[in-house]
A = this chain, B = another copy of it.
Amino acid sequence: MNVALTPTLLPHIDVQPTPPEALVALQARFGAQLSTAWAVREQHGRDESAFTHVPPPAAVVFAESTQDVADAVRIAAQWRVPVIPFGVGSSLEGQLLAVRGGISLDVSRMNQVLAVHADDLTATVQPGVTRKQLNEAIKHLGLFFPIDPGADASIGGMTATRASGTNAVRYGTMRDNVLALEVVTARGDVIRTGTRARKSSAGYDLTRLFVGSEGTLGIFTAITVRLYPLPEAVSAAVCSFPSVDAAVRTTMAIIQMGVPIARCELLDARTVRAVNAHSKLGLREAPMLLMEFHGSPASVREQAETVQALAHEHGGQDFGWATTPEERTRLWTARHNAYFAAVQSRPGCRCITTDACVPISQLAEQVGAAVAEADAAGLPYFLVGHVGDGNFHMGYLIDPDDDAERARAEALNAALVQRAIDCGGTCTGEHGVGLHKMAFLHAEVGDGALALMRAIKAALDPLGILNPGKVLA
């Protein structure tokens, strides 16, 4: 039933003016931590989504403590002013745009690693700590935090979108790696969820309810995450394939055999070309898998041999190894820059990114259909994927002022999502719903589950001040 979904071309904007009394109260409480400067507001009123022309928030509060967050929310509640939490601004689906007005609550100054319990493999951080900062802070302990969405996102933002990225196939997503939270509720109360124990059956799983709630149910002020021992051995490999299909089918075989691969990334030929140009690499400009193996030296060798045999069966060639940290870093930096490399390949463009995630058995067919449709539509695009999880991103590169191009890209996205839902998948593997996928979410979960989500939102945020106009239409 490949009925085209209604794509979101422009978000619904309904800005109520912020009561001057609210700004006065915020000013009185926050002084120099409050900014109404245009440049500051403008920088907080956008993200990496393709949406433009949304008015910025009325003001930006730079929170420096849990108490700051609680007080800001309490003042906002008093005047019914929307509050939009802001980390580093790397979200992709319009999560940060002030479509209902209100204030941006910037938590980037809350950037302390509060505690590292090396023996328990946990750390507690403030929400503005970025993933790279956390990894720097724990490296000397022989530990790492694996969740890696590419951008150096804040842990708060990654928690809010249930982020994942390249390591998720082995280590799970933020869902699996957040153990506990400190949260400011819509009333400005500070509550705690979860513990530092590895598992619990103590009541409703509030931690998991907040993870992925995109700022609409509460604002995180501390996050406890799982850490992992740095693997004894790490090896990265690239392998070129005659077709995207062959690369995807190799991935399916790897997963179905239970190989504990740590990363398994797909790049199509045009992405490899953009990456070569951007990062001065000489990779064969063909569909490619970029993989990483973690474990003991023997286990890494064994995994690599298995994968090499599977790749060979599917026509893989040029199997190349990167075993030194420098070579690996160069490869993964190139992968992380793929998005920017592709965007730079069309000056002035914005990128509309798809984010479907499908059962692994459906991946080759789903990716194939997406590529065929994009080729037929004649829009420039790139394709990357965390294919080990069944998650892939088509990036349509559009002229943001060309409505026809935007409509074409969104129609491709909608058709791709409908196919993903029809085969048992989801409209978003890791970017969240934001403004962009509210219609998709409805199609995916149905009236019943959406009504439950609305009931939860109404129960936890009865005034509707937490990031309104997002996730739930």
A-side residues, CB < 8 A to B, are: 117, 119-122, 161-164, 168, 172-173, 175-176, 185, 189-193, 195-206, 208-209, 211-213, 217, 228-229, 231, 252, 255-258, 260, 295-296, 298-299, 302, 355, 357-362, 389-391, 420-421, 424-433, 437, 440-441, 444-446, 448-453, 455-460, 471-472
Contacts and interface: CB of A to CB of B under 8 A. Distances in A.
A381 to B, nearest CB: 22
Contacts of A358: 197
Given A258-B229, A359-B196, A456-B456, A448 B191 contact: yes
Contacts of A117: 359, 361
A201 B430 contact: yes
Tally of this chain's copies: 2
B201 A360 contact: no
Nearest to A358: B197
Contact of A357 (B191, B199, B430, B450): B199
Contact of A448 (B189, B203, B457): B189
A455 to B, nearest CB: 4
Nearest to A449: B191
Nearest 10 CB-CB pairs, A to B? A191-B448, A208-B208, A119-B361, A459-B459, A229-B258, A200-B426, A196-B424, A120-B359, A197-B357, A455-B459
Given A197-B429, A359-B120, A202 B441 contact: yes
B203 A471 contact: yes
B452 A206 contact: yes
B252 A119 contact: yes
Given A360-B119, A445-B193, A448-B189, A204 B213 contact: yes
A198 B389 contact: yes
A71 to B, nearest CB: 16
B202 A433 contact: yes
A393 B448 CA distance: 39
Given A428-B202, A429-B201, A444 B212 contact: no
Contacts of A428: 200-202
A226 to B, nearest CB: 11
Contact of A199 (B173, B191, B452): B173
Nearest to A173: B199
A296 B295 CA distance: 13
A216 to B, nearest CB: 9
B198 A390 contact: yes
A161 B445 CA distance: 24
A199 B391 contact: yes
A26 to B, nearest CB: 24
